[in-house]
Structure 1
Amino acid sequence: MRQLAVYSAIGNKMTGSINNEVHTVNFLLREVQKIVDEARTDLYDIQAEVQYSSGAFFLWSMAMSYDNVSNVVVKIASKNSTSVNYLLLNSHYDSEVKSPGAADDGVMTVIMLETLRVISRSERPLANPVVFLFNGAEEANMLASHGFITQHRWAPNCKALINLDSTGSGGREVLFQTGPNHPWLVKYYQQSAPHPFSSTVAEELFQNNFIPSDTDFRVFRDYGSVPGLDMAHVLNGYVYHTKYDNFQNLERGTYQTTGDNVLAVTWALSNAPELQDTAAYEEGHSIFYDYLGWFMISYTESTSIIINIVVSIAALVFIIISIYQMTTSTRSDTPKVVAIRFSIIFIVQVLAIVVSACCTILVALIMQGLGLTQSWYYKTWMTFGLYFCPMFCVMGLIPAAYIGWTKQRTNMKLNETISCFMHAHCIVLVLVCIVLTSLGIRSAFFPMLGIFFYTISLILEEIFRLLAKNSFFITIHLICQLLPFWFYTYLNYVFLVVFIPMQGRDGPDSSPDLLISGFIVLMTIHFAGFILPILHKFHKSKIFFTLFGVLTVIFIIIAATPAGFPFKAEVAAQRYYVLHTQRTLHYENSTTKTESGFYIQPVDTRYSELYDTTFKNAEPDSWTTENCAAEPYCGLPLYSGRWLDWKDSARWIHASPPDFPVKTELTPGIKQSIGDNKIRYEFSLKSVDRVVMYILPLEETKIINWSFDKTQLEEAHKPPYFIYHVYSLVEHPLDFWIELEHEAGNTAGPHFKLAVGAHFLYHQQSYTEEYREFLNSFPKWAYTTDWFASYESWIF
């Protein structure tokens, strides 16, 4: 923990800053040297170096470009090892704006150091070398990992990866991505990790963009074809990328728990024979999940198809047997009548599920319509009344109404009717499981588990019926539901802990209440469908279910009062990006327009809270609309491609200009014809270390080539084009060129609009007094990620 305290004390570590490129690099080199000095040099060779790389690639609708970003790279190998197949461990030591990065990703960095130290002193065999990559530009859109995997001499030898990151502040790390197509990696994790925490559901949610984050795993996979394990801390995501991500707020126990897992998995993978030829073990995806953190289950996708089908068929068979048994007792109905009765019950159960889901989603729409979104953001317990209760209410009331109406109209015993409702629910899950399996969705294991345990209860019931000549239906059913109930509620808790904080940064165009309510609907269907029918044994079950509906109304009222306000200072703050910005627009007729102001970019959907206070002097929505029509990307210095969908919610408040310590200078170079109706423009750009550029070809003009990554051109992306460039401790300018094809006779132009946005991310000492006062005007429950920027556009 001493290392983490020292790391955190360095402060903010933005790529390109002295803190990141000098102080943190020196800290890592000192710690590595201590490890080398104390290592078993008779057993191991350790090499350490600093890599500086420059390059380009495509990510998130942006042409990425970088110059001189840093990595600290360490390789440990057994003495005289001849293996050319390495295991790669990766974490990053840079951090986001204003954040010391203790959890993201400092704790993983020091865990890697400790893993290196333990290995260097151990007498255990190390069959293959291990490369420890401490990368210095993950938060800058994963530049340093690209620099390593495409340029470092050890990169071609890296055959498998353990990627370590964070989207919270410690706690247990979740394995949320594997492979792809390498199930042997999950096998070693399952066998070696003492504290497993993993889920295929998390993997599929992440890969379908339900999680507003990304990791270096993508770069290693896409640009190095390196399969691996992607793990991240997820607890307390409220402090993610804020100044509260510090040493004091880190969950204690994180270091030991994660360290145990990382060390064990590193030993296992470094000695895995599969490293010799990973391509030979490329056998499809894995299904994996842990049970309450006690143990882990994993199997291949092909095995899961067999399991899902067999379990589903078995469930249907024993349901048929159970229904048939209802026709053999004294005073029972005929098989035809029982079949009709069950068909009606099946329809009623489907209706209960559909109506309860619709009512729950309706509550979410009401909350959004009333401007009460995210009332559960800090008070997670609000989700119970708002979204669990309507599910419980309707899923219980509709069957209860049916049971009450048919009580005197059927020979079915109450237990048999309750059993039929459970059978119907199981058939619904069977249909869901089969559909998901046929679509190749690996999360089909989720309904399969409920089906499996319900089938076990049916089998046991038949056994007891034969042996004891009596029915122990309720007892057997409740016992068999314990394990799946714990599993589903455990995952439900994990989901809420992980996803609720994420909704505070999912964008102003998101629908957080719909997302949370939708997931609660899915979870509730799985764990409540086999539990709620038991309550029909009580005489006043309708009153009981009605109480859930009353609770929903009460919780909506609470959400409308100050008690339902979602944000809390320092603990669960509302996020805003605030950029003190100067805009300079150069027009075709040589005129120039310059204006300055505060560009505020909300990050969630509830930004109307500040309309009457902090935003009272903001320009109307028409300002944004007009600028979006006149300038590429509204003439705003967007920070990344993720802001492209947010720009329409931006607010602008006029203010005096910021003080720029570095001027942005764009110098046009040679303009020359390179063929029929084709022109090449050359430019030289000097600016701060983080710039974005927009290139918008004008009418009858087409960009055909440039010096940046060419993906946007080759895939015919719709302009304007977005370029993102990072300098790191270099003073030379960015020289680039653009080639275009124009309409015949339009040699003079104009041909395109070029805009440059410069971001001063760690220059707080240059803030104007007006800017400081504006930032202080935000309420204490709001958190600003702030810097100043310039935007300048030209027509060529």
Structure 2
Amino acid sequence: MMSSKGEIRRRVMTPNPNTHTTDPLLQQRSETYRTRNCWQRLFVDHGKIKWYWAPVFLSFWVLLYFCISIPAYHRLPKPINIADEARYPDRFIAERAEQNLRKLTALGPRVVGSKANEEGAITYFQNYVSKLKAEANPIYDIESDIQLASGSYCHWNMVNMYQGIQNFVIKIAPKESNSTSYLLVNSHYDSVPHGKGAGDDGTMVAIMLETIRVLSKSDKPLRNPVVFLFNGAEENPLQASHAFITQHKWAKYIKALINLDSAGNGGREILFQSGPNHPWLMKHYRRAIMHPYASTVAEEMFQRQFIPSDTDFRIFRDHGRIVGLDMAHQYNGYVYHTRYDVAEIVPRGTFQNTGDNVLALVRELANAPELEDPSNDAEGHTVFFDVLGRYLVFYTQTEGVILNVFVSIVAISLCTYSFKQMANSTGTKFGSVLNRALTLLGVQVLAVISGVALCFLVAVFMDLVHMPMAWFTNSWLILGLYFCPLFFGFAIVPALYFHSQRKERFPLGFRVQILLHCHCLFLTFVILIASIAGIRSAFMLMIAVLFYASGLIINLCTKLHNKSLPWLIPHILCNIPPFLFYAYQAHAYFVSFIPMTGRFGSSVNPDLIMCGFTVGMGLLTGGFMIPVLNLFHKSKTIICSLLTFTVLFIILAATPIGFPYRPETNVQRFSVLHARRVFHDQTNAVRRVETGYFILPQDRRTYSVKNDLLNISLAQTLDKDCAEEMLCGLPLYNHRWHKARASSIWIPGPDPKFDHEPQLNLISKDQLSKTSIRYELELSGPDHMGIFIKPLKDRKIKAWSFHYTPLRLEWEPPYFIYFSYGKDSSPLKFTLEFENPTEDWSSPIFEIGIAGHWNHDESTHTPEFQKFLQSFPKYVDAIAWPAYYETRLF
């Protein structure tokens, strides 16, 4: 019996062409053996692909990524120069926009309250408008306005209060127009401290200026007026847009918006927010745009706060109920909000790309009939994405759900029909094939879990050995560090299962097809769940299933499905388009998010974030290709080589190749304040004074400067202060510092220099009743201050003169009021009314902290502070200024 079984096995593995048998499997293999041609002999051996074609197979996909997907992402149009203007009289001129940017950034950092922002930029805009009016086509009226505004609103977990901030507004309208439907185009000209803000947002300002020039000289009419808002306080954050939409005389006529911002320096602008609920905007975007780049995935990620940023779009949407489009540059985010964000590194093609799009879009929306009353066209959210930057696809969310369900049903039906065909071809029962499918579905789920677990295991390991962010500069390291272990886990589990079933007579080609079907069914399940949950990004999975189903249809129609290997040809060909699309999307996400990890804070392991992207994009790019490795000879060896690459890349990460930072181009970020902290007791006597350097790390590698920084041996954590003092007793600058304060470092040092300390004066104290008391106070100081208020014991704030939302929503104290001013430096007066149910007023009622920031005048830096900053390594960009903090009890 053993001899007989062995003989049968040899006949199955190597069919004899002269042997007659009634076994359909042996007949099929005998026929295959007799009809082998030269191509089969070149590629195939005993029913498997020869092992040395595996590197070719894997390299093919890598080459597609580098040769097609990456160039598609970075493609920029040829810029038009001033010398060519005569040939293109109605086109956007990139060189003029570039000149606008250089003139604006020559003013230096434009921080709210600085002379450059409050005087230099305004003068520049006034001069530009004067020239604009002199050269404009007489069919247009051009009007400008300087808005000076004060107000407040709640932003995340703080009250955002502003006084005397400025907007410069230009309106271009058809002569004698009586339209009350305006299109708004917005960008901001202010910058962060010590940064010239070329990318954020000077480039968009320059593009707007050139857009106005082209429109004003054009013979093409505009149906409705267009308002161009150059807002002077976005970095504060978002104050000027709030001032415009709640107070400006033209705000009530605004019906739609184009918001232009940046999280980088140049490149193509991505449309990442649309609407909400107005598909007509996408219809006009697709019709007008010359260089499309848009993503629903980016919109959903941004709105779910996966991106550590915000834009004026939210202010216009929430406070003005304005619909519109939000677009931003995100390339080269390494220099975003640093002193290296300069005009010289912005590619000229950026101006042409965005300028072409903005000019065409302004014309399209200003003439859109829907602008008259957008409320009539509020039809729900949209799904939108571009295909390799060539054309745009969009449809409504309802249409998307229908499409997702339809594709899923078709895929399930095709897989079921394929199982039946396999049963017929092999002479086995349909139920037996379904049992195999259920088993392989479990194998596939286990494979996905294994791949994900290995990927995240590497991420945790890299952090434990103090090598996070090794890919920050050399992003190609992600391929070996995370994609390889993901694909290894994804492939090794099925390989081991197939090896354990090597005596199985069911053809390997069919088993691999079943495995692929199971992956398809797994994706359809996720698609259906995501569609039910209202996640529009489910279209990403739908595309993979759609093209897989297309290949399966070809195989079923041509009968290639029933052959051991030829079915691979349609399968591979049909997966090339989705692979190119996913690789393009993956590159975009990594280009955008890798620099962002440099400002996620020290409490976040950025390698875990990269793993999340790797898992998502890896399952889409490799989900239908990696299982094919099981059809190669020496498949387990091939798969294990992926793990070898991971080990090699970990070694590379431990060399200088894996060091994250480079001077000027890929910098590490620290916020550094030269601070004085003064704490008073209930008798108003000073109980504690400290001076030194308050350091807030912006990324995971806080320790990278430990061997360079002056007096680092004196560094202290603030755990004790965070436990005993209100908000750690720190001069926190904004809500992000508020959130990350626990990771701060304090180094004792000399006293900073101030031109004047913040002054808090008690104007009056009135007992309103036995249980309530009101204080009126006055605060003066620098143009950026923070107010922190904490009721003591059982007292509560019943009313105050600040924005009422924190009290109405019963926010947890201490309360944080961010206050800044531009042209108006008059003292801030405010009232606080406290409720005390015990009627005992003998002990202090509340604690108040005042922070002052001098963040746009480096002349306030003492020699000691300058020496301390110079001790940071060259690859560090330390955004630094003096600060003062004082607490008092009332």
Instruction: Give SS of 2:838's match.
Output: coil
1:238 is aligned to 334
CA contact (8 A) 1:63 1:710 kept: no
**For the Cα contact (< 8 Å) 1:461–1:471, is it kept in 2?**
no
Contact 2:265 2:346 (C-alpha < 8 Å) held by counterparts: yes
Deviations 1:636-669 (A, max 9, x none): 0111011122111111111111110122111111
Residue deviations 1:243-302 (CA, integer Å, cap 9, x gap): 111011112310000001111111111111111111111111110000110111001111
Query: Which shifted more, 739-748 or 451-460?
Result: 739-748
Which residue is equivalent to 1:544? Answer: 638
2:202 is aligned, of 106, 109, 113, to 106
Is 2:477 the counterpart of 1:379? Answer: no
Match of 1:82 among 173, 178, 181: 178
1:197 aligns with 2:299: no
Q: Which residue of 1 aligns with 2:443?
A: 348
Contact 1:288 1:299 in 2 (8 A): yes
1:657-668 alignment runs, 5 A limit: 657-668=751-762
Using the TM superposition, give the Cα deviation of residue 619 of structure 1 relative to its aligned residue in structure 2, in angstroms. Answer: 5.2
Secondary structure of the structure 1 residue equivalent to 2:718:
helix
Say whether the 8 Å CA contact 1:453–1:481 is kept in structure 2: yes
Q: Counterpart of 2:866?
A: 772
Higher deviation after alignment, 363-372 or 750-759: 363-372
Q: Which amino acid aligns with 2:504?
A: R
Could you tell me whether the CA contact under 8 Å between 2:144 and 2:171 is conserved in 1? yes
CA distance 1:423–1:616, change in 2 (3 Å): farther
Structure 2 match to 1:332: 427
Quote the residue 1:656 is aligned against. 750
Distance 2:372 2:842 in 1: 60
Cα 1:469–1:548 shift into 2, 3 Å: closer
Counterparts in 2 of 1:479 and 1:303: CA distance versus 1, 3 Å: same
1:467 to 1:641, Cα distance in 2 relative to 1, 3 A: closer
Deviation at 1:536, TM superposition (A): 2.3
Counterpart residue number, 1:320: 416
CA distance in 1, matches of 2:563, 2:599: 59
Structure 2 vs 1, CA of residues 382 and 467 (structure 1 numbering), >3 Å: closer, same or farther?
closer
2:493 corresponds to 1:398: yes
Give the Cα–Cα distance (whole angstroms) in 2 for the partners of residues 220 and 674 of structure 1. 39
Q: CA deviation at 1:468?
A: 12
Q: 2:565 & 2:611 partners in 1: Cα distance?
A: 38
1:533 is displaced (CA, Å) by 2.3
Please give the per-residue CA displacement for 1:546-596, whole angstroms capped at 9, x wherever unaligned. 111011112222223333111111111110000000111111133202211
Report whether the alignment pairs 1:754 with 2:848.
yes
With 743-752 and 295-304 compared, the bigger mean Cα shift is at 743-752
Verify: 1:719 aligned to 2:813, yes or no: yes
Q: State the aligned residue count.
A: 792
Q: Which amino acid aligns with 1:265?
A: L
Counterpart-to-counterpart distance in 1, 2:495 and 2:759: 74
Q: How does 1:286-685 map to 2 (within 5 A)?
A: 286-329=382-425, 331-411=426-506, 413-465=507-559, 472-592=566-686, 593-614=688-709, 617=712, 624-685=718-779
Is 1:127 aligned to residue 127 of structure 2? Answer: no
Is residue 696 of structure 1 aligned with residue 793 of structure 2?
no
Which residue does 1:731 correspond to in 2?
825
Change in Cα spacing, 1:629 to 1:470, as seen in structure 2 (3 Å) is: closer
Q: 1:470 to 1:407 in 2, by over 3 A?
A: closer
Q: Give me the whole-angstrom Cα distance separating, in 2, the residues matched to 1:628 and 1:125.
A: 61
Separation (CA, whole Å) in 1 of partners of 2:202 and 2:285: 23
Q: Is the 8 A contact 1:32 1:113 kept in 2?
A: no
1:745 aligns to what SS in structure 2? coil
Contact 1:465 1:471 (8 Å CA) reproduced: no
Cα shift readout 1:576-622 (whole Å, capped 9, x = no counterpart): 0000001111111332022110000001111022234427546565x
The AA in structure 1 aligned to 2:468 is: T
Kept in 2, the 8 Å contact 1:464–1:470? The answer is no
Q: Distance in 1 between matches of 2:777 and 2:644?
A: 67
Identity rate, percent: 43
- Corresponding residue of 1:9: 106
Q: Report the secondary structure of 1:644's partner residue.
A: helix
Matched, 1:169 2:265: yes
Once residues 733 and 470 of structure 2 are traced to their aligned partners in structure 1, the CA distance between those partners, rounded to angstroms, is: 29
The letter for the 1-side match of 2:131 is K
One-letter amino acid of the counterpart of residue 12, structure 1: P
Determine if contact 2:474/2:657 at 8 Å carries over to the other structure. no
* In structure 2, distance between residues paired with 1:79 and 1:472: 69
Equivalent residue number for residue 41 of structure 2: none
CA distance in 1: counterparts of 2:616 and 2:247, whole angstroms? 45
Higher mean C-alpha deviation, range 625-634 or range 219-228:
625-634
Distance 1:401 1:754 in 2: 65
Give TM-score, length-normalised by structure 2: 0.87
Match of 1:378, SS state, is: coil
Structure 2 SS opposite 1:692: strand
Match of 1:24 in 2: 121
* Aligned-partner Cα distance in 1 for 2:535–2:640: 36
Report the residue type matching 1:646 in the other structure.
Answer: A
Q: Is the contact between residue 292 and residue 490 of structure 1 (CA under 8 Å) also seen in structure 2?
A: yes
Q: Check the 8 A contact 2:261/2:328 in 1, yes or no.
A: yes
Write out per-residue CA displacement over residues 617-642 of structure 1, whole angstroms, 9 at most, x where no aligned residue: 46565x51221122211110111011
CA contact (8 A) 2:509 2:564 kept: no
Matched residue, 1:247: 343
Q: CA deviation at 1:5?
A: 1.1
Q: Which amino acid aligns with 2:471?
A: W
* Uncovered stretches (5+) of structure 2, i.e. residues with no partner: 1-97
Distance 1:590 1:327 in 2: 89
Which has the higher Rg, Structure 1 or Structure 2? 2
Please list the CA deviations of residues 476-507 of structure 1 after superposition, one character each: whole Å capped at 9, or x if unmatched.
11111011000111111111100000000011
Distance 2:428 2:774 in 1: 87
Deviation of the 1:408 alpha carbon: 2.3
- Once the two structures are TM-superposed, the CA of residue 415 in structure 1 deviates from its matched residue by 2.1
Tell me which stretches of 4 or more aligned residues in structure 1 moved more than 6 Å.
Answer: 466-471
C-alpha distance in 1 between matches for 2:156 and 2:106: 32
Q: CA RMSD in A?
A: 1.6
SS in 1 for 2:779: strand
In the TM superposition, what is the alpha-carbon distance from 1:111 to its structure 2 partner? 0.7
Preserved CA contact (<8 Å) 1:87 1:158: yes
Q: TM-score under structure 1 normalisation?
A: 0.98
Please report how far the alpha carbon of residue 471 of structure 1 lies from its aligned counterpart in structure 2 after TM superposition: 8.3
Q: Deviations over 1:175-219 (max 9, x none)?
A: 011111111111111111111101110001111111111110111
Q: Distance in 2 between matches of 1:192 and 1:612?
A: 55
**Distance (Å, rounded) in 2 between the aligned partners of 1:571 and 1:86:** 41
Partner amino acid, structure 2, of 1:375: A
Over residues 691-713 of structure 1, what are the superposed CA-to-partner deviations in whole Å (9 max), with x where a residue is unaligned? 00100000011011111111111
**Which amino acid letter does the alignment assign opposite residue 76 of structure 1?**
I
Q: How many Å separate the matches in 1 of 2:665 and 2:161?
A: 36
Shift of 1:115: 1.1
Q: 2:331 & 2:876 partners in 1: Cα distance? A: 21
How far apart are the structure 2 equivalents of 1:467 and 1:204?
39
